[in-house]
Structure 1
Amino acid sequence: MQALEKNLIDSSWVTIILVVLLALIAVLKIIDSERLKGYVFALFNKGFIESEIEEDTSFLDAFYNTLFLFSTTTLSLIVHAFLSERSFGFKNGFSSFFYIFVTVVSYFLVKWILEILLSRLFLIKNTVRFYFVSKFSYLYSISFLLFILFVITTYSSLNSSILFYATAILFLIRLVFHITNNKKLIFSQLFYFILYICAFEIAPLFILFKLML
């Protein structure tokens, strides 16, 4: 009985974070319910991304900051759950989650800043704008699905492996949609695209997991 009680206490912080995430969704709805709906279905709505580019809204406004916080927190929860189950010696707890959260946020921020700086340095900001906006839009879109999956697997008898496999599938779908909707840019600059993938996608991921393990 004591062991069970301890387990419930240890995982109570997850419930608190999930409540915070629900609150963030409520904030997004209050700020702009139509835009929230657009991002939920952005994976299947290319027109929404094009309209976002035309509006040219600053990525530093309240809506985008809240959306970014929601997505990175959701991803951090999934990474924490994966490491807790698959990594030997990983210490399960809020402190471990917070470290992962800071690492994930730093990863996306540094990557985003470098991409913006390089696009401006080589005067290709307008050329690659749809590429960058769609990449983040698809990430935000699947983060809502991942949040639902995380809640279901956390508070049901379903095996947590379902969450991990579903996450991998959703990221694969995101990659397919991203390549499909940017195929002209990618295949016209295939060599530079491969360099970009290696430098900004694959290598940082290895560094990210090294930092968290």
Structure 2
Amino acid sequence: MEPISRALVSTDWITVVIFSSLFFAVIAKQVSYARFLNFIILPFNNKYIFMYNKKDRLWNGFNILFGIFQLLNFSLFIYLCRPLWQDPAEEIFPFLYIVIFGLLLTFSLVKLFLQLANGFFFNNNKLVSELIFKKLSYLFYSSIIVFLGNICLVYIFKDSRVVIYLTIFLVIAVNLVGWITILKNYQKEITTKFFYFILYLCALEIAPIVIFVNALTK
């Protein structure tokens, strides 16, 4: 009986996390319905970027609510990815989710602060804010994919590596579309400041991800 009891891990708290994240997404939709409709077609139409890339582009109710939605779901997805490095039958404690959420929240806030500080010190506040807004918009959109992946991993295809890899692929694809759009829109700025762009890419995009992944795997 002991092996069976160890393999059975309650998903009640996961259900709470999923429905809590859905609550924030629904509130975001209710608060800014027109904005949500434009946001939902983001990878296929840049209308959302052009319409809302204005004053207070970062600090508004819609972004804050979707930021919480994104953090809850990405943290849960990382937690559910344990079959990639651990036997799914092994007991795992919900406390790990809290640790992952804390790390992801800290990582996101520190990275955002460093990017804004970079804009301040190099007198490029407007440009940096635009870049952050566009990257966050695609990241928030990819969190919808992660949300659906979480539902599949918890209730339909439990611990499925196919679902995990497919979700990762789609998240990368959506954010890649965002980066391609950014590179197209800022070709002139990147060309004239290529060295600073490479420095920014390595220091504030690639390095933080490597550090975060190392922190998770240790």
TM band (smaller chain)? 0.7 to 0.9
Amino acid at match of 1:80: Y
Offset of 1:3 from its aligned partner? 5.6
- How far apart in 2 are the matches of 1:205 and 1:91? 28
Amino acid at match of 2:197: F
Residues 175 and 23 (structure 1), Cα distance of their counterparts in 2 relative to 1, 3 Å cut: closer
After superposition, give the CA deviation of every residue in 1:51-92 in whole Å (9 maximum; x if it has no partner).
1113x235333322211000011111111111x212348972
- Residue 37 of structure 2: aligned partner: 37
- Residue 11 of structure 2: aligned partner: 11
What SS does structure 1 have at the residue aligned with 2:156? coil
Offset of 1:7 from its aligned partner? 4.8
Q: Which runs of 5+ in 1 are unaligned?
A: none
Q: RCO higher in 1 or 2 (8 Å CA, sep ≥ 6)?
A: 1
Question: 5 Å matches for 1:60-139?
Answer: 60-82=59-81, 84-88=82-86, 92-139=92-139
- How far apart in 2 are the matches of 1:3 and 1:88? 16
Would you tell me which structure has more helix in proportion to its own residues?
Answer: 1
**Is structure 2 residue 177 aligned with structure 1 residue 177?**
yes
1:80 and 1:97 in contact (8 A); partners too = yes
Question: 5 Å matches for 1:162-173?
Answer: 162-173=162-173
2:142 and 2:175 in contact (8 A); partners too = no
Amino acid at match of 1:109: L
Amino acid at match of 1:66: L
Q: What's the C-alpha RMSD, in Å, of the aligned pairs?
A: 2.5
Paired residue total: 211
- How far apart in 1 are the matches of 2:28 and 2:3? 39
After superposition, give the CA deviation of every residue in 1:80-121 in whole Å (9 maximum; x if it has no partner).
111x21234897222000000010011111111111111022
Sequence identity of aligned pairs in percent? Answer: 22
Pick which of 186-195 and 42-51 moved more: 186-195
After superposition, give the CA deviation of every residue in 1:164-194 in whole Å (9 maximum; x if it has no partner).
2223322332343233222214444333222
Q: Which runs of 5+ in 2 are unaligned?
A: none
**TM-score of the two chains, using structure 2 as the length reference:** 0.84
- How far apart in 2 are the matches of 1:175 and 1:147? 16
Residues 91 and 57 (structure 1), Cα distance of their counterparts in 2 relative to 1, 3 Å cut: farther
- How far apart in 1 are the matches of 2:160 and 2:44? 27
**TM-score of the two chains, using structure 1 as the length reference:** 0.86
- How far apart in 1 are the matches of 2:22 and 2:208? 30
